[in-house]
């Protein structure tokens, strides 16, 4: 267990968009956030991204050692050189997620990482939740609760993370703790950046649609959008979560479209998934705060502004760093794990009882 009081913790996140590793430092006692420290971003090269993309869908007994070594090497590079760090949170790289079947797979060994960076590392955050009947995702909601307190929200708000997959956290900041009844509702909204990025890579050889400029030149094909929204996932009551490639049928729906129309239609699919998700909120949020790479897609943000009944704002508007919230979340969760506090509950993952996941590995002498 960690000492009581404030801890300077480092968190790292490599999401399903496969753009790179975000690293961030926060000061926290596992309940409140007291300050934000340094950040760092280590992008994947084209070759590294290709290796990771080729490993998507692979499980522990299938993934090659070269893939795991790549993940650990890049994280060790990104997480080295920070001063005064007492604890680190290592999410690993999600390669497969099937909570109702084979479980969840985040590749990377936290013990090897702890030995390399010389700091205790908390890792394997999701497995305990899945073993107890949870979805294992999303895990950032407990941190979103702390951020709602930090921004002094006085009414329910929602955090929308637009990464490879979209996820929504509805927060009632009047509640005393994230595991309190009615404090949180969280779930994956649907695909977000991942399929758009894959489309742009396949068609144009570029990693993503910068600022949504290609989508802005296209026309949304409503027939394809309607077929997308007929997917049973959108009618399923939360909690619920997705694998990165759960909506591969999106590519079939836009296959005959030109590049701009395909990008516009896929962007509308991601935005419309969020609109459907909002119907599950216990009460309408006073505002939606957007983090993740999708907030830089101006076309997607315009669609959300037009389609939602409440203000939609990038988290920078309230003094937060939208690129680093996921990395900060795993620093925060690492402290909670080390202090024996829960990291998920029934209203965030569907787990039977509030549970603290994660394994703590200390550097070997």
Decide: helix, strand or coil at residue 106. Answer: strand
Arithmetic mean of pLDDT, 283-310: 97
Confidence of residue 329 (pLDDT cuts 50, 70, 90): very high
pLDDT at residue number 156 = 98
List, for residues 150-170, the tens digit of each pLDDT value.
999 999 999 999 998 999 999
Average pLDDT of span 97-109: 89
> What distance, in Å, lies between the first and last C-alpha atoms of the chain?
19
Look at residue 3 in the predicted model and tell me its pLDDT: 61
- Cα distance between residue 311 and residue 287, in whole Å: 5
* Residue 246, pLDDT score: 85
Which pTM does this prediction carry?
A: 0.95
Q: What is the pLDDT averaged over residues 178-204? A: 96
Peptide bond into 239 cis (omega under 30): yes
Residue 102 is predicted with a pLDDT of 87
Mean pLDDT on 199-205: 96
Residue 2: pLDDT band by 50, 70, 90 thresholds?
low
Q: Is the pLDDT of residue 1 over 60?
A: no
- As a whole number, mean pLDDT of residues 351-364 equals 94
Cis peptide before 67 (omega within 30 of 0): no
Q: Is the pLDDT of residue 120 over 70?
A: yes
DSSP type of residue 6: -
Taking CA 324 as the corner, what is the angle to CA 42 and CA 38, rounded to the nearest 5 degrees? 75
CA 322/CA 192 separation, integer angstroms? 15
Give the separation between CA 317 and CA 10, rounded to whole angstroms: 24
> In angstroms, rounded to a whole number, what is the distance separating the alpha carbons of residues 190 and 242?
7
Strand, coil or helix: 25: strand
Mean pLDDT over all residues of the chain? 95
Q: How far apart are CA 300 and CA 279, in angstroms?
A: 19
3-state secondary structure of 20: strand
E strand or H helix at 187 = strand 184-191
Quick: pLDDT tens for 232-276.
999 999 989 887 778 989 999 999 999 999 999 999 999 999 999
Q: How confident is the model at residue 100 (pLDDT cuts 50, 70, 90)?
A: confident
Residue 360 has pLDDT above 80, yes or no: yes
- The residues facing 41 across adjacent strands are 22
**Domains, the chain:** 7-138+327-361 (3.30.420.40), 152-318 (3.30.420.40)
- pLDDT for residue 65 is more than 70: yes
Residue 300 sits at the vertex; the CA angle it makes with 187 and 260, to the nearest 5 degrees, is: 125
Task: Say what the pLDDT of residue 353 is.
Answer: 92
Q: CB-based burial of residue 232 (10 Å sphere; 0-12 exposed, 13-18 middle, 19+ buried)? A: exposed
**Helix axis angle, 222-229 relative to 259-278, nearest 10°?**
40
């Amino acid at each position: 267990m960690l000492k009581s009081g404030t801890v300077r913790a480092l968190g790292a996140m490599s999401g399903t968009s496969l753009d790179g590793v975000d690293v961030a430092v926060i000061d926290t006692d596992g309940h409140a956030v007291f300050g934000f420290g340094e950040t760092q971003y280590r992008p994947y090269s084209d070759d590294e991204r290709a290796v990771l993309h080729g490993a998507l869908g692979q499980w522990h007994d299938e993934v090659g050692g070269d893939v795991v070594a790549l993940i650990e090497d890049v994280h060790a590079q990104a997480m080295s050189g920070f001063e005064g760090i007492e604890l680190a949170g290592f999410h690993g790289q999600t390669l497969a997620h099937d909570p109702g079947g084979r479980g969840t797979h985040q590749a990377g060994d936290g013990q090897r990482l702890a030995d390399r960076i010389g700091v205790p590392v908390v890792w394997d955050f999701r497995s305990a939740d899945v073993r107890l009947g949870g979805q294992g995702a999303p895990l950032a909601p407990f941190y979103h609760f702390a951020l709602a307190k930090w921004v002094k929200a006085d009414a329910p708000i929602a955090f929308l993370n637009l990464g490879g997959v979209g996820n929504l956290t509805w927060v009632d900041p009047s509640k005393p703790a994230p595991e309190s009844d009615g404090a949180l509702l969280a779930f994956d909204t649907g695909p977000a950046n991942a399929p758009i990025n894959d489309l742009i890579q396949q068609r144009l050889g570029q990693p993503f649609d910068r600022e949504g400029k290609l989508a802005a030149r296209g026309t949304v094909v409503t027939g394809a959008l309607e077929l997308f929204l007929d997917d049973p996932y959108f009618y399923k009551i939360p909690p619920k979560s997705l694998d990165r490639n759960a909506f591969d049928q999106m590519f079939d729906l836009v296959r005959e479209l030109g590049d701009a129309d395909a990008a516009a239609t896929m962007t509308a699919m991601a935005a419309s998934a969020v609109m459907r998700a909002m119907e599950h909120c216990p009460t309408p949020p006073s505002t939606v705060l957007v983090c993740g790479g999708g907030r830089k897609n101006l076309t997607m943000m315009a669609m959300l502004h037009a389609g939602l009944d409440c203000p939609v704002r990038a988290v920078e508007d309230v003094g937060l760093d939208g690129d680093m919230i996921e990395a900060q979340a795993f620093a925060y969760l690492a402290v909670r794990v080390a202090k024996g506090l829960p990291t998920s509950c029934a209203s965030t993952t569907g787990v039977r009882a509030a549970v603290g996941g994660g394994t703590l590995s200390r550097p070997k002498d």
